[in-house]
């Protein structure tokens, strides 16, 4: 059964956590806390992961101790990634980045401040329903049909990295979209770069299915576009016009797209993508990359200005690298 609140805290703050659990139970809320809920012979991490997934909210108790606890940080990352984190501070220590950006209420006296915690619980918006476009698809040339990989062999490391990157994101709903930078520790962009047939599409298809099965894990928008097209290299899609027109419309751009320069298209789309918790999947971009025959310096880099700029806006690190190269 799903619990209302999962309490994430440091062992050193156990006295506070016990008192908090008691008060929450008294207010009619069901609580999951390791000390009272973990089965003695249970598989520790699996039970905690399942409780985290099933809880409606995760209440993180920040303190000087919990700010350096790997357990608490992992749980907070998960909760943020799933848009269900509530934060309180029980001493003067600031939560570590990127959690310092989330408003944590200060609790000095549990009895006096308890109403604030209850209001926090009731005021938190329900995670939004994801708005979805597209589906990463594998194409079987022989059967001339699309298919889904049933069992991905290996790739645990890549799937874990994807999940970690997703969980590092926080829905900064109050931030102005113009601020596209990522707080430290947040990953905006992941690039999978491998030879044809290595399994890039199979990997993202599997990740997409995992997200779908997990109720989209806090995503408010999921957009998938494949630049992959069949045919010879000459016939392949060499421009991103169709993508930018479709994506800008889909994300709600109201202006005239035809009048936008490639850079402006990229900026407007990046702002719309960053204004919500978005999973943007761009697959099969090799027709838009310089081939290896072009020499070592530009081989693999993107020919298309608008797409290059889009990634640059979404990933401040790439911008930094690009500036360093100039």
Ligand X SMILES: Nc1ncnc2c1ncn2[C@@H]1O[C@H](COP(=O)(O)OP(=O)(O)OP(=O)(O)O)[C@@H](O)[C@H]1O
Q: What order do you get walking across the sheet with 5-8 strand by strand?
A: 31-32, 5-8, 57-62, 85-89, 105-106
Question: For residues 71 and 192, which CB has a smaller minimum distance to Mg ion in the complex?
Answer: 192
**What residues contact residue 308 under an 8 Å CB cut-off, 6+ apart?**
266, 301, 302
The least distance separating Mg ion from the CB of residue 129, rounded to whole angstroms, comes to 29
Polymer length in residues for the chain: 326
How buried is residue 252: exposed, middle or buried, by Cβ count under 10 Å (0-12/13-18/19+)?
exposed
| 297 in contact with ligand X (CB under 6 A) | no
| 154 in contact with ligand X (CB under 6 A) | yes
Query: What track of x and - describes contact with ligand X for positions 171 through 200 (by CB under 6 A)?
Result: -----------------------x-xxxxx
The residue behind tokens 């999947």 is: 281
Q: Among Mg ion, ligand X, none, what binds residue 154 when CB lies within 5 to 8 Å by partner kind? A: ligand X
Residues 196-255 that bind Mg ion (CB under 5 A): 200-201
Question: For residues 1 and 195, which CB has a smaller minimum distance to Mg ion in the complex?
Answer: 195
Question: For residues 203 and 311, which CB has a smaller minimum distance to Mg ion in the complex?
Answer: 203
The least distance separating ligand X from the CB of residue 29, rounded to whole angstroms, comes to 43
Question: For residues 8 and 201, which CB has a smaller minimum distance to Mg ion in the complex?
Answer: 201
For 277, which DSSP code?
Answer: -
Distance CA 59, CA 122 (A): 12
**Inter-axis angle of helices 14-26 and 110-123, to 10 degrees?**
60
The least distance separating ligand X from the CB of residue 96, rounded to whole angstroms, comes to 35
Q: In the complex, which residues of this chain contact ligand X (CB under 6 A)?
A: 138, 149, 152-155, 194, 196-202, 228, 284
Q: In the complex, which residues of this chain contact Mg ion (CB under 5 A)?
A: 200-201
């Amino acid at each position: 059964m799903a619990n209302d609140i999962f309490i994430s805290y440091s062992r050193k703050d156990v006295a506070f956590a016990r008192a908090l659990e008691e008060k929450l139970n008294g207010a009619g809320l069901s609580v999951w806390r390791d000390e009272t809920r973990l089965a003695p012979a249970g598989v520790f991490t699996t039970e905690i992961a399942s409780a985290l997934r099933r809880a409606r909210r995760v209440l993180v108790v920040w303190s000087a101790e919990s700010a350096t606890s790997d357990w608490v940080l992992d749980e907070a990352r998960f909760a943020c990634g799933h848009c269900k984190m509530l934060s309180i501070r029980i001493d003067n220590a600031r939560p570590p980045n990127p959690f310092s950006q989330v408003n944590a209420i200060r609790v000095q006296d549990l009895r006096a401040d308890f109403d604030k915690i209850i209001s926090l619980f009731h005021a938190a918006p329900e995670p939004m329903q994801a708005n979805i476009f597209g589906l990463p698809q594998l194409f079987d040339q022989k059967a001339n049909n699309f298919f889904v990989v049933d069992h991905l062999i290996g790739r645990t490391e890549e799937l874990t990295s994807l999940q970690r990157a997703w969980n590092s994101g926080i829905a900064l709903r109050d931030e102005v979209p113009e601020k596209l930078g990522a707080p430290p520790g947040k990953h905006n962009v992941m690039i999978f770069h491998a030879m044809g047939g290595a399994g890039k599409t199979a990997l993202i298809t599997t990740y997409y299915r995992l997200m779908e099965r997990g109720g989209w894990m806090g995503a408010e928008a999921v957009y998938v576009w494949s630049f992959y097209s069949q045919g010879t290299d000459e016939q392949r899609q060499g421009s991103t016009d169709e993508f930018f027109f479709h994506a800008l419309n889909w994300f709600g751009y109201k202006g005239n797209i035809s009048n936008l320069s490639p850079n402006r298209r990229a900026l407007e789309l990046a702002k719309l993508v960053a204004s919500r918790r978005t999973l943007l999947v761009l697959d099969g971009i090799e027709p838009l990359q310089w081939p290896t025959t072009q020499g070592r310096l530009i081989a693999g880099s993107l020919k298309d200005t608008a797409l290059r700029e889009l990634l640059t806006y979404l990933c401040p690190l790439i911008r930094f690298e690009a500036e360093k190269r100039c």
